[in-house]
Chain A
Amino acid sequence: SQQGEEDPQALSIQEGENATMNCSYKTSINNLQWYRQNSGRGLVHLILIRSNEREKHSGRLRVTLDTSKKSSSLLITASRAADTASYFCATVPQGGKLIFGQGTELSVKP
């Protein structure tokens, strides 16, 4: 069964706008990761946040983690057409098993 659930399932914005995607999970975790998948390609790791961290930045990406609510969010600032892709959160419960959510399909229109 899936551990994470992303929201929304699809998001369409204009270039330059910010995009926010949310992820909720069910069990306690070691860390939470966000991945990106371009159409027809493999997944690429974006950012990892550990269970004792609350916020992390990487370039135009900002990730937050609220372990009390079992939720995370990914913010992409100043989006570009090249950011168009599917974004997945993945949780790592104890034991090393990487479990993915259903993903958010982001479309950034030029």
Chain B
Amino acid sequence: DAGVIQSPRHEVTEMGQEVTLRCKPISGHDYLFWYRQTMMRGLELLIYFNNNVPIDDSGMPEDRFSAKMPNASFSTLKIQPSEPRDSAVYFCASSLAPGGMNTEAFFGQGTRLTVV
């Protein structure tokens, strides 16, 4: 397996534009997580899905952020409209269902978003 795949790797956009980040989890993983990493706030959990269903979105900062998982192999995180304070590295991670023997998460390489 190629691991968790995120695209794009880098995104520069102007304030007010819509941004869509994409993630392909590892096949067979039931959980998918979206994180945001900044120097000031560290790694923040934004939302996570179990079997394509959003379980906890309490970390989504504002209504400008939305996430979907239309099927087991694809998820998107959308920011509309984007603002400079959204600049961060966004990570997607996937893992097997907890309760099994091993629940480690596998991370993608991240998308570095810059909003100017």
Residues of chain A whose beta carbon lies under 8 Å from any beta carbon of chain B? 2, 30-31, 33, 35, 41-45, 48, 88, 90, 92, 95-103
Contacts and interface: CB of A to CB of B under 8 A. Distances in A.
Interface of B: 4, 31, 33, 35, 42-43, 45, 48, 50, 55-56, 91, 93, 95, 97-98, 102-110
The 6 A-B residue pairs with the shortest CB-CB distance, nearest first, are A42-B107, A96-B98, A100-B43, A45-B104, A43-B107, A102-B42
Q: Say what secondary structure dominates the interface of chain B.
A: strand
B45 A92 contact: no
Given A42-B110, A97-B56, A31 B103 contact: yes
A95 B50 CA distance: 10
Contact of A30 (B33, B98, B106, B109): B98
Contacts of B55: 95-97
A98 B93 contact: yes
Contact of A96 (B103, B106, B109): B103
Contacts of A43: 43, 91, 93, 105, 107
B107 A48 contact: no
Nearest to B6: A42
B42 A98 contact: no
9 contacts: A41-B109, A42-B91, A43-B107, A45-B105, A45-B106, A90-B105, A96-B50, A96-B95, A97-B45
Contacts of B43: 43, 88, 100, 103
